[in-house]
Structure 1
Amino acid sequence: MRPAGGHPVTVATAQYPIEAFDDVEGFRVKAARWVQDAASRGAELLVFPEYGAMELASLLPEAERGDLAAQLHGLQPLREAFVETWRALAVAHGVTLLAPSLPWRLDDGRFVNRAWLCGPDGGLGHQDKQVMTRFENDDWGVAAGQGLRVFDTPVGRLGVLICYDSEFPLLARALVEAGAELLLVPSCTDTRAGYQRVRLSAQARAIEQQVAVIQSPTVGEALWSPAVDINIGFAGVYTPCDHGFPPDGVLTQAQDATPGWQLARLDLARIRALREHGQVNNHADWAHQAARLAPGIEAVALA
């Protein structure tokens, strides 16, 4: 359910390194340390990045962890322990938490990129990536999931756009029309250009839809993994560029690649108010596009 009175929420977005473990317990210790750190600083919503769970591939035999297809299959026996670890941490600290996404095998044998949302009461929900990159489609064999979801949580109604999904405005619009007031964008990019595409798209979605957008990237090198060997990104929280918010729409953004949290105090009620009293009316004016396009596009030769 939504927070009573729509009180401001402290959000934390992770700049998360892919690391290698000797055993599953090493993963659990790291997860607990990260959640404890954010919760101890007052965070109520924690966002982890796309494919952060690929660090579990470090537990596979060397031949498997160095092979893209073998990694997908090798991770599946670990997935229940993975989800339960994050679910238990959300309950223990009383937070809402988007866990790092991981490849998830469906009953039909296909693999999707799945992010699990964990609630403070132990509830679980998941969102699969909708539009796949060339690497996922052509090289890795990770397929698109079916359908978008919105999640009612103690911090508000959330939608999740996994990395490349954020670059498609109609996906964000569908979530907002379904009531999403905060969009989470977990990401994993291996070039600065890739990071900028996702960041700029996240900011564009915040402006277009008059919502807040939280981006969480992977960072650093994991050269033992052919899937997530290089990771470039900066965690950030973005808002509309309007009354009461930063002129550039950047509520917070990491300044370097150091792993850690970016925290921000986010007042969703103030963002919702912009739809009634802002300098512009992007959310409501979205529908005007169809009317403007209805006559078609006229080609004109200059006389």
Structure 2
Amino acid sequence: MTFIVAAAQYPVERLADWAHYAAKLERWLAEAADRGARLAVFPEYGAMELASLDPATMGDLARSMAFVAGLMPRVDQLHRELAARHGMHILAASGPCRQGDGSFVNRARLFAPNGKMGVQDKLIMTRFERETWGVSAGAPLRLFDTALGRIGVLICYDSEFPLLARAQVEAGAQVLLMPSCTDSLHGYWRVRLAAQARAMEGQCYTVQAPLVGNADWSPAIDVNRGAAGIFGPPDGPFPDDGIVALGPVDAGQWLYAEIDPGRVGALQADGAVLNMRHWTEQPGAAALPGVSLVDLR
């Protein structure tokens, strides 16, 4: 089954109030639905623009994180309603979620049109998250069984670690979503090259969706660079360079592409090369993390 995926180059804004945020999200998803998208992918830390709703705390890293975490149940309810209204699967922009011990994880949530939701925490923290922000690693690594196929999520830096993607691919992932938030083109290119490498290694689709724009009021997302990309392996029916679609750097927009998850299994079985099958011939290739399968069908 083919379907259209929309990857957001999502521009951070200073929001006037909750209604401003809700209208922005509704406008973006209505546009994607009008283009026939059945899967919409938002970026890493896009939820942090909600910190602008509290001028008293938005300039303080820890306090703004706590404020946004407190809004997440309301954010999730809005996404749940929009997924049902538009008949669309939505990977919401990730944001901080408070754990029982008081720590925060960076969490993305995948909403299905039937009301179900699955969560994927970021597993490997960047230096900024570890040393400055105090965001903790989450767990476990998950794979979502959906009406569109099996979908994995690797949040930004996680995409740069091949064993995570490999574990999801071995569990049946056909599409890997890679929401990102990078403050330089160096960072953007690290995630982009990782997305292309994971598509080649797993012989699957990968989708990068970045946060873009500047927010000088925020110590968390002050500068954001990048471009959305939808990639596949450079083989068979895929483009010669593996680039299915690519957006312009730093522009606020959707990037659309029609993808066919059925091509993944066909290529893994009979491609010009068999990267997925031959993975185990590498020394140490058997050491993979476990994957929890979540039913969103």
Question: If the length of structure 2 is used for normalisation, what is the TM-score?
Answer: 0.94
Q: Aligned partners of 1:87 and 1:292: how far apart in 2? A: 39
Q: Aligned partners of 2:218 and 2:174: how far apart in 1? A: 36
Post-superposition Cα deviations, 1:19-38, rounded to whole Å, max 9, x if no partner, equal 11111111100000000000
Post-superposition Cα deviations, 1:51-97, rounded to whole Å, max 9, x if no partner, equal 000010001133x1101111121223211111111111001000001
Aligned to 2:229: 236
Equivalent of 2:87 in 71, 94, 116: 94
Partner amino acid, structure 2, of 1:37: E
Aligned to 2:16: 22
Based on CA coordinates, which of the two structures has the bigger radius of gyration?
1
Partner amino acid, structure 1, of 2:134: G
Task: Report how far residue 275 of structure 1 moved.
Answer: 1.1
SS of the counterpart of 1:99? strand
Equivalent of 1:209 in 202, 208, 212: 202
For structure 1, which runs of at least 5 residues remain unmatched after alignment?
1-6, 294-303
What pairs up with 1:272-283 in 2 under 5 angstroms?
Answer: 272-283=265-276
Aligned to 2:292: none
1:42 is the counterpart of 2:39: no
What pairs up with 1:29-178 in 2 under 5 angstroms?
Answer: 29-62=23-56, 64-178=57-171
SS of the counterpart of 2:93? coil
Task: Report how far residue 255 of structure 1 moved.
Answer: 2.3
Post-superposition Cα deviations, 1:172-227, rounded to whole Å, max 9, x if no partner, equal 01111111111000000000000000000000000001110000000110111010
Higher alpha-carbon deviation: 237-246 or 264-273: 264-273
SS of the counterpart of 1:44? strand
Equivalent of 2:173 in 177, 180, 184: 180
Matched positions, count: 286
SS of the counterpart of 2:119? strand
Q: Aligned partners of 2:244 and 2:30: how far apart in 1? A: 23
For structure 2, which runs of at least 5 residues remain unmatched after alignment?
287-297
Q: Aligned partners of 2:285 and 2:243: how far apart in 1? A: 31
Q: Aligned partners of 1:37 and 1:100: how far apart in 2? A: 17
* Change beyond 3 A, Cα 1:108–1:264: same
Q: Aligned partners of 1:232 and 1:261: how far apart in 2? A: 15
Post-superposition Cα deviations, 1:251-277, rounded to whole Å, max 9, x if no partner, equal 000124221100001011122211122
Q: Aligned partners of 2:238 and 2:33: how far apart in 1? A: 25
* Change beyond 3 A, Cα 1:231–1:287: same
Q: Aligned partners of 1:256 and 1:165: how far apart in 2? A: 22
Partner amino acid, structure 2, of 1:39: A
Given that 2:227 and 2:251 are in contact with CA atoms closer than 8 Å, whether structure 1 keeps it comes out as no
Task: Report how far residue 292 of structure 1 moved.
Answer: 9.5
Post-superposition Cα deviations, 1:115-134, rounded to whole Å, max 9, x if no partner, equal 01000111111000000000
Aligned to 1:297: none
Question: If the length of structure 1 is used for normalisation, what is the TM-score?
Answer: 0.92
Q: Aligned partners of 2:210 and 2:70: how far apart in 1? A: 25
| Identical-pair percentage | 52
Given that 1:157 and 1:180 are in contact with CA atoms closer than 8 Å, whether structure 2 keeps it comes out as yes
SS of the counterpart of 2:37? coil
Given that 1:96 and 1:154 are in contact with CA atoms closer than 8 Å, whether structure 2 keeps it comes out as no
Task: Report how far residue 291 of structure 1 moved.
Answer: 7.5
Q: Aligned partners of 1:282 and 1:245: how far apart in 2? A: 15
Q: Aligned partners of 1:196 and 1:256: how far apart in 2? A: 11
Q: Aligned partners of 1:219 and 1:232: how far apart in 2? A: 5
Partner amino acid, structure 2, of 1:108: D
